[in-house]
Structure 1
Amino acid sequence: MEAVLLDAEEQQSNTHAVKNWISRVNEAFYDVDDLIDEFAYETLRQQAMAEAKRGIKEVPEVFSLPHQIAFRFKMSHKIKDIKGKLKSIDADKNQFHFSERMINTRDDELRKSRETSSFICDDEVVGRDDDKKAIIDLLLNTDPKTKENITVIAIVGMGGLGKTALAQSVYNDESTTKYFEMKLWVCISEEFDVKVIVEKIIESATRKKPEIFQMDLLQSELRKQIDGKKYLLIMDDVWNEDYEKWVILKRLLTGGASGSRILITTRHQRVAETFDTTSYYALEE
């Protein structure tokens, strides 16, 4: 299927049937993406439950067993349905006689179109008061044992749970406005390019796009904006699992005053671990 997608995309403007076939491909792979998210979320949920039960001496062996059985039953049917869809789509492609051309479609290219902002209306976030309070508590509570000026907190959850909306609500809350001298919002989504992210942070701080392009000058401007200030930086929709890239960016952000916080939203716990998070918040459905 991958081998013929490029030819199919070029032909879709000429025939409705090809356009419909590509639409079916997209829908099927959205289903796959959601399925993987559900598995990742269930793993995260079980780990959180295990953490909570560590202090309990006696735990019944069958604890949450019905849930596990129901989850496996539900997911097995979803996998079967998706495999059926893919088999049908793959068979139908033969009628179009596509030419095969191998392409490399990167995840970050698929995510480039997504962009978020810090603004949200108060009435848009429903049923998340407890989550919001928990996140704000994590942001405002200072651990005297922490040696670094900045700490990283992550909101982790599958797609569609409202991680961005929750982060927006926290960002605009009166308590964070009073506590932090500077608030910054950056949507990551695309490839974790440190230079691009630095440009975005500077733009968020100054409200204008930086006119300098050399990385050395950019890092100098970034430090000028944040050094000595207690800031809150929200990095929305993070996918990066490359620790070295994070270390490079973190080095530029350490000049903030004690109590500075970085809050990231991500679908995957692996990302949260990459960012040296002091705590992560698993967002429930």
Structure 2
Amino acid sequence: MAESILFNVAASLIAKLGSPALAEFQLLWGLDDEFDKLKHTISAMEAALLDAEEQQFKSHELKNWISRVKDAFYDVDDLIDEFAYETLRRQVIAKTKRGAKEVRQVFSMPHQIAFRFKVSHRIKDIREKLNAIDVDKNQFHFTERVIDTRNDELRKSRETSSFIYDDEVVGRNDDKKAIMDLLIDTTTKVNENIATIAIVGMGGLGKTALAQSVYNNKNEMEHFRLKLWVCISEQFDVKVIVEKIIESATGKKPEILQMDLLQSELRKHIDGRKYLLIMDDVWNEDHEKWVNLKRLLMGGAKGSRILITTRHQRVAETFDSISSYA
């Protein structure tokens, strides 16, 4: 089978359009319906793309059709990038309180209306182009086939690590100190050996970078005998998370398959040790799932801390956070 480049591009665009971070931006601008329509338009074409790529050398007309699809997909990708950039620019300006003139310009009602109109109009033009392309595909009698790669691609794109260069976190010293103070604070009354702190904020505000900076602060973090980093994202699977924690502790992926043996292995590494566990990009709002994981983490020494990064305050509440930093 020929390399399914177009199919992969379509799957990537659908993943981007359906990502929780972009969904928040869409709601912020009131464009969620427009982006949903665009996603469904691409989804409707996706099933024919595998067959189209295999047959593309059979005729000049088919090569031209594929070229039109590529151009339209590039337009979608450019639109997503421009939309996300403008939204993040607004957030950065609001957070850093730049010059009054720039703030007035970006947050003025005419500017917001103009940007929303421009994006809405571009989405309409792209959808019309894609619909015309979709109609023209009927002449080629493609066999529709679908391989669902989106979940894996989305998960891989969100995977984070604990490493960061010092110069990547600029102007966040106060934020970093505030988080570290919360982590090592011994005056807060905590009934259990472990406690959870949450960094809460919309996508793109640098929550992961802030957590990475805290994790790599050698002077302050010597307070903890063991530091662990796991990236969670959307699927809150307790067994998978336990495997990741063990891998972070040992540097090796565990070969154990049974949950009972996994939990025993986990406790070997954390029981009696004051640890810091950072759980990056948490979405889970199911309290029972959190309790099931927390039960396995209780053996740490008094003063152990779990730091989560999340986009939603509801998640921080689900994890019984004693403090939330926004």
- 8 Å Cα contact 2:194-2:304 kept in structure 1: yes
In 1: Cα distance, 2:88 partner to 2:155 partner = 16
Give the unaligned 5+ runs of structure 2: 1-40, 57-65, 96-102, 139-143
Give the counterpart letter for 1:85 in structure 2. Answer: R
In 2: Cα distance, 1:139 partner to 1:207 partner = 24
CA displacement at 1:175 relative to structure 2: 3.2
Q: Aligned in 2, Cα 1:34/1:104: closer, same or farther, shift over 3 Å?
A: farther
Worse-superposed segment, 199-208 or 19-28: 19-28
- 8 Å Cα contact 1:223-1:255 kept in structure 2: yes
In 1: Cα distance, 2:122 partner to 2:239 partner = 41
Q: Aligned in 2, Cα 1:219/1:36: closer, same or farther, shift over 3 Å?
A: farther
CA displacement at 1:85 relative to structure 2: 2.4
The answer to whether the aligner puts 1:266 opposite 2:306 as a matched pair is no
In 2: Cα distance, 1:29 partner to 1:8 partner = 23
* SS of residue in 2 equivalent to 1:179: coil
Give the counterpart letter for 1:274 in structure 2. Answer: T
Give the counterpart letter for 2:301 in structure 1. Answer: A
CA displacement at 1:20 relative to structure 2: 2.8
Give the unaligned 5+ runs of structure 1: 46-65
- 8 Å Cα contact 1:31-1:82 kept in structure 2: no
In 1: Cα distance, 2:108 partner to 2:200 partner = 20
In 1: Cα distance, 2:249 partner to 2:274 partner = 13
In 1: Cα distance, 2:304 partner to 2:44 partner = 49
- 8 Å Cα contact 2:242-2:266 kept in structure 1: yes
Partner of 1:95: 132
Give the counterpart letter for 2:121 in structure 1. Answer: G
CA displacement at 1:101 relative to structure 2: 8.7
- 8 Å Cα contact 2:194-2:298 kept in structure 1: yes
CA displacement at 1:146 relative to structure 2: 1.3
CA displacement at 1:165 relative to structure 2: 1.5
Give the counterpart letter for 1:95 in structure 2. Answer: A
Q: Aligned in 2, Cα 1:214/1:5: closer, same or farther, shift over 3 Å?
A: farther
In 1: Cα distance, 2:279 partner to 2:126 partner = 37
1:114-193 to structure 2, matched below 5 A, reads 114-193=158-237
In 1: Cα distance, 2:149 partner to 2:312 partner = 20
Higher Rg of the two aligned structures: 2
The answer to whether the aligner puts 1:23 opposite 2:23 as a matched pair is no
Q: TM-score, normalised by structure 1?
A: 0.76
Matched positions, count: 258
Q: Aligned in 2, Cα 1:102/1:211: closer, same or farther, shift over 3 Å?
A: closer
In 1: Cα distance, 2:256 partner to 2:153 partner = 25
- Higher relative CO (Cα under 8 Å, sequence separation at least 6) belongs to 1
In 2: Cα distance, 1:37 partner to 1:246 partner = 31
In 1: Cα distance, 2:125 partner to 2:322 partner = 46
Deviations 1:7-63 (A, max 9, x none): 365357952321232233345456677789899x89xx9xxxxxxxxxxxxxxxxxx
From 238, 241, 245, give the equivalent of 1:197: 241
Percent sequence identity is: 60
The answer to whether the aligner puts 1:85 opposite 2:136 as a matched pair is no
Which has more helix, going by share of residues?
A: 2
Worse-superposed segment, 181-190 or 112-121: 112-121
Q: CA RMSD in A?
A: 3.3
Partner of 1:217: 261
Q: Aligned in 2, Cα 1:276/1:105: closer, same or farther, shift over 3 Å?
A: farther
In 1: Cα distance, 2:235 partner to 2:87 partner = 20
- 8 Å Cα contact 1:108-1:191 kept in structure 2: no
Q: TM-score, normalised by structure 2?
A: 0.68
